[in-house]
Structure 1
Amino acid sequence: MVENNWWQKAVVYQIYPRSFQDSNGDGIGDIQGIIQRLPYLKKLGIQVIWLSPIYQSPNDDNGYDISDYRKILPEFGTMMDVQEMISVAHQLNLKIMMDLVVNHTSDEHQWFQQSRSSRENPYRDYYIWRDPVDGHEPNNWLSDFGGPAWEFDDKTQQYYLHLFSKKQPDLNWENSALRHDIYDTMSWWLAQGVDGFRMDVINLISKQKSLPNDPNVDADNHSSSMTFVANGPKVHEYLQEMNAKVLSQHDIITVGETPGVTTKDAMQYAGFDANELQMIFQFEHTELDNSHQGLGKWSDERFKLVDLKKILSKWQNDLEGKAWNSLYWNNHDRPRVVSRFGNDTDKYRVTSAKMLAMTLHFMQGTPYIYQGEEIGMTNVNWSSISQYQDIDTLNAFDDLVHQQKRVTSEQMMRYVHHSSRDNARTPMQWDNSLNSGFTTGQPWLGVNDNYTTINVAASLTDQQSIFYFYKKLIALRQQMPIITNGHYQVLDIDDEFVYAYRRIARDSQLLIISNFTDRIQTRHYSLNAGAKLLISNYEDDQGDMLRPYESKVYFENVSGYF
């Protein structure tokens, strides 16, 4: 079952189009820029490109607020550009996965414009409207971007639900006409030639009809109600319907973003016999360094390796043979992995970035690489909040510093440096020319100052670069079935400094060892006489001695591969 699907051996590369490559000098990445860089992605060796949204949008949340699912935002290009991109990608044997955002739309979408025009409008029921309760919001739900999850509409004297920005009203999936409009749109995109969908917060689409209060919200808790709303009563009914009407009709790749899920939930969403999605994104390992002061992701705390191992091992073991994992360190919503789980100093950035790549890419699942990860791009360290553009960051700064006064501006800037989504959204660093080769104009968001040394051009001229290390890891996944279907076994799970695990097949084994520290560690793991070093981020092998951020993989019973 594991080996029968092409997407189980694929490696996906995520593009955040606004920040990838500008082709016309307006400072904003675009579709023609992506087309220019497709040969680069082919060289890296990936099989699938996931595009963050390129649809028509007022950009309140950088494209995750869609006003027309079948039109392209003009600053990105035209539908003809998209068709050219799909055609060129397919010529290079690259597949295109679109971002599908159907928990909510923009308040500028024609559906919502109609919906808010009157209570009797046929589109009224496309969204979630409720009367005030005692002159206030219908319940206590909080938006993920801060404040109540309800906005009052003067014209019709009701509130509408928005789990994110007030310009992102939630859709009412109880309405069958809405669901079928969404399925029609998905089918339309598949007819254009796209090869799959990444589905934004897809496990939020079903809400309890009674809209009960969130018991986690009180006077001292200002966290989002997103996880309380997750995994609603009809979510599996809706996804099975989507699968039957659209997904099962095509040989495509699907992944759902699913906050607040357990491994048991994952088996319902992505089980081999669930008839819903092929895999999901879970967030447990990306929340390891959340604040212990009740500030959510806003912290500068360091993760604990034992916690990371326990979470990743749980997902590897619980899903084996039952569902499929997605493997990722970072994305457009998460800080740069080398700054977060590695060491982004000049001394250790390259070594620790390779270590993190190796640790993840030998696990079972489909790996996702976020743009710039393959060259070791880092978080930014801007001095002023005015340099940031992410709505989540700006709202949190205002709320925690100015409104609640829970932290000082100096503390909050440390948290922003660690956790802001803009860390992932700075322009791709192509070379050491002005604006890193991203644009000839003024970039929409500042370029990281280290682009003069950390860039694609430098990486491609250095055979020991992070880029070529990723290229090797991707090639190994295509060549060695054990990476796809081998059993996972963690070793010494309580070791605070070294992450070691095996992948075990009938006639062979892999041993993966990663030192997560900047200190020498000594560890002994048993190997048979025929074991050979398969890949390492150091040029030689010192046996039981593990140098700072050293990572290496041994292959046992290797006669069929060497």
Structure 2
Amino acid sequence: MRLTDTSDLWWKTAVYYNLNLETYMDWDDDGIGDLAGLAQRLDYLAELGVTCLWLAPFYPSPRQDNGYDIADYFGVDERYGHLGDLVEVVRTAHDRGMRVIVDLVVNHTSDQHPWFRAARSSPDSPYRDFYVWRDEPPAQQRPSMFPDAEDGVWSFDDAAGQYYEHSFYRHQPDLNTANPAVREEIAKVVGFWLQMGVDGFRVDAVPFLIDGEHGDEHDYLRAIRGYVGRRSGHAMLLGEVNVPYAEQMAFFGGSDGDELTMQFDFVANQQLYLALARQEAGPLVEALRARPAIALTNQWANFVRNHDELTLDQLSVEEREEVFAAFAPSEDQRVHGRGIVRRLPPMLDGDPRRVRMVYSLLFSLPGAPVLYYGEEIGMGEHPGLPRTRDAVRTPMQWSSGDTGGFSNADPDAFTLPVVEGSYGPAHVSVSDQLHVSDSLLSFIRTLVHAYRRSPEIGWGRLELLEQDDPAVLAHAMTGTTGQLVLLHNLSANRRTARVHLRDADTTTRVVDMVGETTNACDEAGCLQVELDGYDHRWLRIVRGQEKRLL
């Protein structure tokens, strides 16, 4: 794909914020978050510096899988409001300088979707081929994504008299995306939400969207990208593709970059936690070194946590055990044999230095940062919930009262309980941090604005700076707007970072963008920085009289 105008690639340097309406803000006090509540919090998000909202599924759904079991692609669950409320949220967000993307979940539907109900009613139904059926399941089956919940990916349906395929839970039958009629319906879904004003889609479970047996999986992704481009000149596709880098490149569309616009970097995310467990930068350095070069029309999305478990499936068994031992020593903190159902602060024993270092690292990595709601205030998980993934999906904590300011309803009416104990609202809330200069919320706001003043992170060239100390991660981001040197100490002990800057001397200014330290180069252009335990620096390098963003 040739690019002649980069002015509308807003997503390259956006700050993303993912939230679930159900647990974000309840405005009508029925115990369920809603669009009206979100509308009341858009100014908060704008002040935080968010430039793109990512809304988790809000469609009509039985809600057996956090709304990813969709029963109607063209509606809003009545518990959250209606289409008019959504349009108002999108319009107001745009007025505040924020884009809005929504989940595109078209690898499966709910078994309550009218298509599946019609499909199972008769073999002659025109919707029968919307799903994948067999008289007998294949002898060799691929494993279920949830091996501790499902014993396979085929289930028998009594009404249909056949087995149907489901890559995830049995209440989520797979769509037959090889069927042109299904693809036509998916195009209508995409077109509808673009017409409603959304700015793109987070595409769920992309490797399960397409069936490689038909040999045209990437042709189909390319067709979706082309359709989005024709219907909207600025919309994007952010893909959930948890595979090794070599396979991820195919989902970008290779060097042409004409399939997914962005992808989450699951490799770097998992290596980050291995690095944290070892208190050594090596695993993350190797991941960044292994990142393939991508087209200008593509971008990486970096994240610390998301709405699911912290998956470690790309680590070796030994590496996974290291991370489990460090951050999820109890079996009830783990799920599916591969993941952790905890938020970051409890995993790091609440050490504010370490928590801040991790978020500084998140915003400094080449690409675009993605925050999960509540991360900006250091929310913790609620252990022991029946559905383990729900541990990190609890109500947003706006104030210090028992309900966290989420709702005035009886807490028994909440779909999920508020976190209790040392991470409950009495200790962690927006109201207690909003006007406190040294709070985590203020620090995250500082990082957001530092990132937005540093286009090199989204557009520039990464250089990993060799260090003698294995605990220090040093990298530079260089672009036409200037250069940043970013330093992070993954150890609890004091360390020293040493960086040689080319074309630098004693006239070179070193500007600390996040802290208040003073640094300078020596006559040879060398920069030596002392880093306390879990310390970090964002240093803008200004050579001579050159003008750079500060």
If the length of structure 2 is used for normalisation, what is the TM-score?
Answer: 0.82
Match in the other structure for 2:302: 327
Amino acid in the other structure paired with 2:14: A
1:262 Cα deviation (Å)?
Answer: 2.0
Match in the other structure for 2:367: 365
With over 3 angstroms needed to count, the CA separation of the structure-2 counterparts of 1:236 and 1:480, relative to structure 1, is same
Kindly indicate whether residue 187 of structure 2 is the aligned counterpart of residue 183 of structure 1: yes
1:431 Cα deviation (Å)?
Answer: 1.3
Kindly indicate whether residue 241 of structure 2 is the aligned counterpart of residue 258 of structure 1: yes
With over 3 angstroms needed to count, the CA separation of the structure-2 counterparts of 1:289 and 1:469, relative to structure 1, is closer
8 Å Cα contact 2:447/2:514 also seen in 1:
no
With over 3 angstroms needed to count, the CA separation of the structure-2 counterparts of 1:422 and 1:301, relative to structure 1, is farther
Kindly indicate whether residue 405 of structure 2 is the aligned counterpart of residue 437 of structure 1: yes
With over 3 angstroms needed to count, the CA separation of the structure-2 counterparts of 1:195 and 1:524, relative to structure 1, is same
- Output one character per residue of 1:334-382: Cα deviation in whole Å (capped at 9) or x when no partner: 4566337x7342xx22x323212221212321221111111222334x3
1:3 Cα deviation (Å)?
Answer: 4.6
Match in the other structure for 1:338: 344
Distance (whole Å) between structure 1 residues aligned to residue 38 and residue 278 of structure 2: 35
Amino acid in the other structure paired with 1:236: H
Kindly indicate whether residue 533 of structure 2 is the aligned counterpart of residue 533 of structure 1: no
Pairwise mapping of residues 339-354 of structure 1 onto structure 2 (< 5 A)? 339=345, 343-345=348-350, 348-349=351-352, 351-354=353-356
- Output one character per residue of 1:126-145: Cα deviation in whole Å (capped at 9) or x when no partner: 01111215xxx553222212
Kindly indicate whether residue 81 of structure 2 is the aligned counterpart of residue 77 of structure 1: yes
Match in the other structure for 1:502: 476
Distance (whole Å) between structure 2 residues aligned to residue 263 and residue 41 of structure 1: 36
Pairwise mapping of residues 395-414 of structure 1 onto structure 2 (< 5 A)? none
Distance (whole Å) between structure 1 residues aligned to residue 481 and residue 124 of structure 2: 67
Match in the other structure for 1:556: 541
8 Å Cα contact 1:3/1:485 also seen in 2:
no
Choose the corresponding residue for 1:130, options 134, 154, 166. 134
Amino acid in the other structure paired with 2:36: Q
Kindly indicate whether residue 286 of structure 2 is the aligned counterpart of residue 310 of structure 1: yes
- Output one character per residue of 1:503-549: Cα deviation in whole Å (capped at 9) or x when no partner: 12367421111111222223322354313232345767796321121
Amino acid in the other structure paired with 2:440: I
Structure 1 stretch displaced more, 498-507 or 165-174: 498-507
1:481 Cα deviation (Å)?
Answer: 3.1
Distance (whole Å) between structure 2 residues aligned to residue 252 and residue 504 of structure 1: 27
With over 3 angstroms needed to count, the CA separation of the structure-2 counterparts of 1:182 and 1:439, relative to structure 1, is same
Match in the other structure for 1:144: 145
- Output one character per residue of 1:107-164: Cα deviation in whole Å (capped at 9) or x when no partner: 000111111112221111101111215xxx5532222122211111123321101111
8 Å Cα contact 2:456/2:481 also seen in 1:
no
Distance (whole Å) between structure 2 residues aligned to residue 531 and residue 267 of structure 1: 42
Match in the other structure for 2:259: 276
- Output one character per residue of 1:84-118: Cα deviation in whole Å (capped at 9) or x when no partner: 21122122222110111000000000111111112
- Output one character per residue of 1:140-192: Cα deviation in whole Å (capped at 9) or x when no partner: 22221222111111233211011111000010011001101110111011111
Amino acid in the other structure paired with 1:440: N
8 Å Cα contact 2:280/2:471 also seen in 1:
no
8 Å Cα contact 1:434/1:440 also seen in 2:
no
Choose the corresponding residue for 1:427, options 382, 395, 398. 395
With over 3 angstroms needed to count, the CA separation of the structure-2 counterparts of 1:24 and 1:322, relative to structure 1, is closer
What's the secondary structure of 1:470's corresponding residue? helix
- Equivalent pairs: percent with the same residue? 32
1:301 Cα deviation (Å)?
Answer: 7.2
8 Å Cα contact 1:11/1:366 also seen in 2:
yes
With over 3 angstroms needed to count, the CA separation of the structure-2 counterparts of 1:67 and 1:323, relative to structure 1, is same
Aligned residues: 490
8 Å Cα contact 1:46/1:94 also seen in 2:
yes
Distance (whole Å) between structure 2 residues aligned to residue 162 and residue 54 of structure 1: 22
1:477 Cα deviation (Å)?
Answer: 3.3
Structure 1 stretch displaced more, 487-496 or 75-84: 487-496
With over 3 angstroms needed to count, the CA separation of the structure-2 counterparts of 1:436 and 1:85, relative to structure 1, is same
Pairwise mapping of residues 120-269 of structure 1 onto structure 2 (< 5 A)? 120-132=124-136, 139-146=140-147, 147-209=151-213, 233-250=215-232, 251-263=234-246, 265-266=248-249, 268-269=251-252
Amino acid in the other structure paired with 2:32: I
8 Å Cα contact 1:279/1:323 also seen in 2:
yes
With over 3 angstroms needed to count, the CA separation of the structure-2 counterparts of 1:304 and 1:107, relative to structure 1, is farther
Amino acid in the other structure paired with 1:339: P
8 Å Cα contact 1:131/1:138 also seen in 2:
no
Kindly indicate whether residue 436 of structure 2 is the aligned counterpart of residue 462 of structure 1: yes
Choose the corresponding residue for 2:532, options 547, 552, 560. 547
- Output one character per residue of 1:201-241: Cα deviation in whole Å (capped at 9) or x when no partner: 122122244xxxxxxxxxxxxxxxxxxxxxx8322111112
What's the secondary structure of 2:223's corresponding residue? helix
Match in the other structure for 1:100: 104
Structure 1 stretch displaced more, 100-109 or 472-481: 472-481
1:261 Cα deviation (Å)?
Answer: 4.0
Distance (whole Å) between structure 2 residues aligned to residue 188 and residue 177 of structure 1: 17
8 Å Cα contact 2:257/2:295 also seen in 1:
no
1:497 Cα deviation (Å)?
Answer: 1.7
With over 3 angstroms needed to count, the CA separation of the structure-2 counterparts of 1:488 and 1:474, relative to structure 1, is same
Distance (whole Å) between structure 1 residues aligned to residue 499 and residue 66 of structure 2: 47
- Output one character per residue of 1:434-463: Cα deviation in whole Å (capped at 9) or x when no partner: 211112221322222322222111221112
With over 3 angstroms needed to count, the CA separation of the structure-2 counterparts of 1:318 and 1:339, relative to structure 1, is farther
Distance (whole Å) between structure 2 residues aligned to residue 289 and residue 389 of structure 1: 29
1:17 Cα deviation (Å)?
Answer: 1.7
Choose the corresponding residue for 2:17, options 13, 21, 24. 13
With over 3 angstroms needed to count, the CA separation of the structure-2 counterparts of 1:173 and 1:53, relative to structure 1, is same
Distance (whole Å) between structure 1 residues aligned to residue 205 and residue 87 of structure 2: 27
With over 3 angstroms needed to count, the CA separation of the structure-2 counterparts of 1:457 and 1:430, relative to structure 1, is same
Gaps of 5+ in 1: 210-231, 292-299, 394-420
1:322 Cα deviation (Å)?
Answer: 7.4
- Output one character per residue of 1:43-86: Cα deviation in whole Å (capped at 9) or x when no partner: 01111100000000001101000000112112222222112211
Match in the other structure for 2:461: 487
What's the secondary structure of 1:96's corresponding residue? strand
8 Å Cα contact 1:279/1:326 also seen in 2:
yes
Distance (whole Å) between structure 2 residues aligned to residue 244 and residue 319 of structure 1: 18
